[in-house]
Structure 1
């Protein structure tokens, strides 16, 4: 089947496939918003002997999540679509555990580990789909996210295992 100009967007990507990737990016955006809010909550509510260590770490993580949220939304726009922007949409598309009133250090770190694991699953789907259509912009972003989050996962797991 021959591709016509109408089927390719301004970036040189197939429109229908780009739309699928934008939808997946919106799912990622929704989940990052929940992750961000979880991080804010555990940052505010953490208690105990490791308060100072974790309070700073959770702030670092939520600042990073905020940057990633903006990057994902801007990528959706770059692809020619509209990023989700309501809490209703975020909750509807959320796949993460929502952390409520978590103040114990180990519970907070386990929430971060579980959240990153779920984000990685979404990102790997997007990575594969973007590779299939040579969407290097999305692919590169997902690769960067995955690399950073794998390192964060390793660090959180290392911290958590000292408790065992």
Structure 2
């Protein structure tokens, strides 16, 4: 078994880099969704949601950078074009969303897709003995589960 510079199996690391790039692409779509609903939200919940969506997109921007840096740490190259992002998108694309309920439902649907990708990465990172990716996925999952709970509470679900 060939090991890379940080002591991980080269073949398993290639799989992780690919999956991290898919996650990166989906986070970029999620980020753009958040920007769009932040800009276009209307209604009585405007002030509350406008601020919340800004908080979420700022947080997503930091996570995007962390994921890209993890790809680099593992010896890969992060995806960085909109074409790449759309070719790997599993997160729904939100367009013309200005109503509060639709915006929050988009967030829940997007995070649900991200969670699927992260859980798969968590399993593969464990198998590859990649504690760095494992810890990152664990942190993302617990934080996003809480966000889904809070968004569903707002939706009264």
- 2:98 matches 1:103: yes
Q: How does 1:1-164 map to 2 (within 5 A)?
A: 3=1, 7-161=2-156
User: 4+ residue runs of structure 1 moved beyond 6 angstroms?
Assistant: none
* Superimposed CA distance per residue, residues 61-84 of structure 1 (whole angstroms, 9 cap, x where no aligned partner): 000100000000000000001000
Larger Rg: 1
Separation in structure 2 between the aligned mates of residue 121 and residue 136 of structure 1, nearest angstrom: 19
How many angstroms does 1:30 deviate by? Answer: 0.2
For structure 1, the 5+ residue unaligned runs are none
Separation in structure 2 between the aligned mates of residue 123 and residue 68 of structure 1, nearest angstrom: 13
Separation in structure 1 between the aligned mates of residue 47 and residue 98 of structure 2, nearest angstrom: 13
How many angstroms does 1:129 deviate by? Answer: 0.1
* Superimposed CA distance per residue, residues 2-37 of structure 1 (whole angstroms, 9 cap, x where no aligned partner): x3xxx1001110001000000000000000000000
Q: Secondary structure at the match of 1:117?
A: helix
Q: Secondary structure at the match of 1:80?
A: coil
How many angstroms does 1:100 deviate by? Answer: 0.4
How many angstroms does 1:149 deviate by? Answer: 0.3
How many angstroms does 1:96 deviate by? Answer: 1.1
Separation in structure 2 between the aligned mates of residue 73 and residue 22 of structure 1, nearest angstrom: 10
For structure 2, the 5+ residue unaligned runs are none
Per the normalisation by structure 1, the TM-score is: 0.95
Tell me the number of residue pairs that the alignment of Structure 1 and Structure 2 aligns.
157
How many angstroms does 1:133 deviate by? Answer: 1.3
Q: Secondary structure at the match of 2:76?
A: coil
